Amino acid sequence: MGHSVHISTHPLRPTYTDAQLFQYFNSLAPRILSHRFTHDLNELTELQRHHLTTFPFENLSLHYSPTHTISLDADVLYTKFVRDKRGRGGYCMENNAFFGTILRSLGYEVTSVGARVCDSVNGGDGKGFGGWSHMVNIVTLEGTKYMLDVGFGGNGPTSPLPLQDGLVHDCIPPSEMRLTDSNIESIHTDREQRLWSFQVRQSKEADWQTQYCFTETEFLPQDYEIMNFWTSTSRKSIFTQSILLAKMVMEEGEVMGNLTMFNAEAKRKVRGEVVESWTCKTEKERVEVLREWFGIRLTEEEERGIGGLVTELKG
């Protein structure tokens, strides 16, 4: 693949082989296969955008599955995302763990960190935060740190964001995004502590809304095992009580919209406007929307797995 950089052999930080990377890029964008990796910001941006528009954010394994479990094992993730070739992705820790391993395998300097999701994501006032339940990656390029996230759904970042306070970037038009560095009064008793916050506004005239905050302290795979257990099993977790999907849509190399599903409701948005929507009334309809809109092909065993769950459509 043309890269000649140091590849991590740390036992807690697995990497993929060149053959596995070849198959990943074949799924992602075959034209990248002939690309010589330069490890610069343009390349990193292209990788993130192609990943976002190829592999969906989704929690279907907690609903359409005989086991209703999620694994963060690197080989399990590779099989799910690439080897099975059924259009699957994963929720935050799956997507970002997998993408982080891809970047590390290409020789990028990657640090995985934890994040707390803001209550504004679920209609709150934007002052409250949950526990550590999200993962993002920090990549260092020529001394500058960038936050990358491919697992936050429809309102997630669409390009690497430098850890610079208040710098505004384009997101899905007409929305914008930024990072802020601040003490968060609602969660910090120590006023000296600071976290980075990822914020989005839907237009230049709209208010900024915090989506999550994150630390620069490195999290271990063992930390994510604990986090993943709660988010994938607790009845207080939105992931066990709802079906969630988001897949970005790219036009001429730029992310211009997304496809989303929340339980029975599916929407297609372009440049901030809903251009198509669909309400699924039966399980058959929802499985068809998953296939036709998102490119996700479930097995018959997976389809039966939702029987008796709170998310099953009874029509």
Catalytic residue numbers read 92, 134, 149
Exposure on the CB side of residue 95, measured as CA atoms within 13 A: 28
Burial of 135 (0-12, 13-18, 19+ CB in 10 A): buried
- Output DSSP code: residue 242: S
Residue pair 132/93 in contact by the 8 Å Cβ criterion: no
User: Which pair of structure tokens corresponds to residue 19?
Assistant: 């053959």
Tell how strand 265-270 and strand 109-118 pair up: unpaired
CA atoms of 110 and 107, how far apart (whole Å): 9
Closest C-alpha among 295, 286, 289 to residue 314: 286
* Angle CA 151–108–134, to nearest 5: 25
CA atoms of 279 and 51, how far apart (whole Å): 27
CA atoms of 259 and 180, how far apart (whole Å): 28
SS3 state of residue 169: strand
User: Which pair of structure tokens corresponds to residue 62?
Assistant: 């907690």
Count other Cβ atoms within 10 Å, centred on residue 268. 17
Residue 256's Cα: distance from chain center in Å? 17
Whether a cis peptide bond, with omega within 30° of 0, leads into 221 is no
Burial of 85 (0-12, 13-18, 19+ CB in 10 A): exposed
